[in-house]
Amino acid sequence: MSEIVYNNRCFPSQRIFYGLTETFSGLSGPVGAGKTVALCYRALMAAAENPRRTGLIGAPTYPMLRDITIRTMLEILDERQIPHTYNKSEHVLYLKRSGSIVKFRPVHDYERLRGTNLAWFGLDEMTYCEEEAWMRLEARLRDPKAKRLSGFGVWTPKGYDWVYRRFIGPERMANYRAVLAAPEENVIVLRKNPQFYARMKASYDERFFEQECLGHYLNVYAGRVYHSYDPALNDMKLEFSPHIDRGLLWGIDFNVDPMASVLGQVRPGPELHVLDEIMLAIATTEQMCVRVVERAQPWLRMWQDAHGPKIPLPLRLYGDAAGNARSTKASKTDYDLIGEFFRSKPQFKLIDHVPRKNPEVKDRVNSVNAFLHDASDRVRVFIDPRCKALRRDLLEVTWKQGPSGFELEKKKYRELTHVSDALGYLIWAENPISGFHREIVTN
């Protein structure tokens, strides 16, 4: 007896996806479209079509594979009472009725995908995988005893990338086909959480909302990086408030020439008020610390007038995680130097918000754009006119195509990108948006 292969509560796009006859098939859709569920059911179909053969399910990273893909598959197997054994240490699933084997593997290190012949494979969130991973798996699709060789995947659109070109574009490859899921197709999510799309609008900028929540294919990574910035909306004369308990926020980028900082406050809303910027040519970390203290003197006096001279002004530090390794002195990191400097300044209380690992550049940029102007028409970043370099960055920094995909254009103007990077580290720490931050959607 074969495994159960259809979910009787499937959505229209899922049902079409299950019925595709091309060797390579896909399901493209917004968040909330039940894509991982569809992937798992399609894998069970492939296992049933190829009894006693081996297939593979992949995801971009191991945490995503463990927390979303494998978890979804095991929930389906338990719910549908499909006999199975799962080897947690090997990440291998044995389906008892068909005798099929399913291997779960992260695909970020795609060179490790060489080896065993496969009857089928499936990829979760393909647009976050390298094309080389798909090509390695396609090359392994060569089990001579398989009854139907197939490769399939599910994804959220990410512009006109390799997935779009292979499956959807005007020159899509032979024997490839994809189904495009419609937004709000998952009535179960909307019934359980009717504010789902409204909440997403408040989290994403307009372009990112169209891509992630409506499933549109857009050229998001072209032209201006900070497309949500509008001087008419975001520029405003600002003042420091001594009554904000969180004190002063400091974002830093350690580029040597220029080294850049932004200073600001979080106001109720929440809103970020960027009060000032510091740009230093050929500077050391200590020189930047000196300038921060000098610039903060008027605000420190206001704080002490409001709280008393013995209460230090909180100074919350955000920045590039690489500063924990890079150093302007042989034995100390940049953050070591900052810590040492402010230990001699008891009027400030330095609070470290530096991450252990930097976010992806696109995640950091998406966080900034969403705070500048989100899809619900909310503006949460205001920038004082004295921040001339930052305002130029937000208007002029553009994307370019690099060897690993789209990246910031840093060579066009040497002075660009650094102060907006400093702002980005701060905003991402306060309001992170991640490409893998999504809810498990069932149906």
Q: Is the pLDDT of residue 408 over 80?
A: no
Q: What is the pLDDT of residue 405?
A: 54
Give pLDDT, residue 110: 82
User: Which amino acid is located at 412 in the chain?
Assistant: K
On the question of pLDDT at 189 being above 70, the answer is: no
- The whole-number pLDDT of residue 70 equals 97
In this predicted model, what pLDDT tens digit does every residue of 235-291 receive, in sequence order?
A: 999 999 999 999 999 999 998 778 999 999 999 989 999 999 999 988 899 999 999
Average pLDDT over residues 66-90: 95
Tokens of 13: 């796009």
Give, as one character, the DSSP assignment of residue 172.
P
Which CATH number fits the domain that encloses residue 267? 3.30.420.280
pTM over 0.85: no
Tell whether 127 and 255 lie within a shared domain: no
Spatial strand order in the sheet of 381-383: 348-352, 313-319, 248-253, 259-267, 271-280, 381-383
pLDDT tens figures, 302-355:
999 999 999 999 999 999 988 776 554 457 899 999 999 999 999 999 999 999
Residue percentage of the chain with pLDDT more than 70: 88
Q: Rounded to 5 degrees, what angle do the CA atoms 250, 253, 259 make?
A: 105
How far, in Å, CA of 407 to CA of 415, rounded?
17
> Over the chain, what is the mean pLDDT?
87
Specify the pairing of strand 100-106 against strand 54-59: parallel
CATH number, domain of 23, equals 3.40.50.300
252 or 111, which is more confident?
252
Residue 399 has a pLDDT of 76
Q: Is residue 6 part of a domain?
A: no
CB 360 within 8 A of CB 435: yes
Confidence of residue 396 (pLDDT cuts 50, 70, 90): confident
Q: What is the pLDDT of residue 202?
A: 77
Residue at which a domain ends, from 166, 185, 214: 214
Band of pLDDT at residue 401, cut at 50, 70 and 90: low
Residue 301 and residue 199 in one domain: no
**Angle at alpha carbon of residue 383, lines to 378 and 270, rounded to 5°:** 45
Instruction: State the Cα–Cα distance between residues 319 and 332, nearest whole angstrom.
Output: 17
> Do residues 47 and 163 both lie within one domain?
yes
Contacting residues for 364 by C-beta, under 8 A, at least 6 apart = 358, 424, 425, 427, 428
User: How big, in percent rounded to 5, are the helix, strand and coil portions of the chain?
Assistant: 35, 20, 40
CA angle 374, 406, 152 (to 5 degrees): 90
Same domain membership, residue 131 and residue 21: yes
Is residue 395 in a domain? yes
Count CA atoms closer than 13 A to 95's CA, side-chain side.
32
Longest dimension (CA), the chain: 81
In terms of residue numbers, what domain contains 147? 12-214
Same domain, 37 and 140: yes
Contacts of 210 (CB under 8 A, 6+ apart): 216, 218, 375
H/E/C letters for each residue in 128-156? HCCHHHHHHHHHCECCCCCCCCEEEEEEC
Q: Does a structural domain hold residue 221?
A: no
**Residue 235 shares a structural domain with residue 209:** no
Please give the pLDDT value at position 332: 84
User: Residue 412: pLDDT above 60?
Assistant: no
Q: Of the given ranges (25-29, 210-214, 246-250, 431-435), which has the lowest mean pLDDT?
A: 431-435
Look at residue 6 and tell me whether its pLDDT is greater than 70. Answer: no
| Overall domain count for the chain | 2
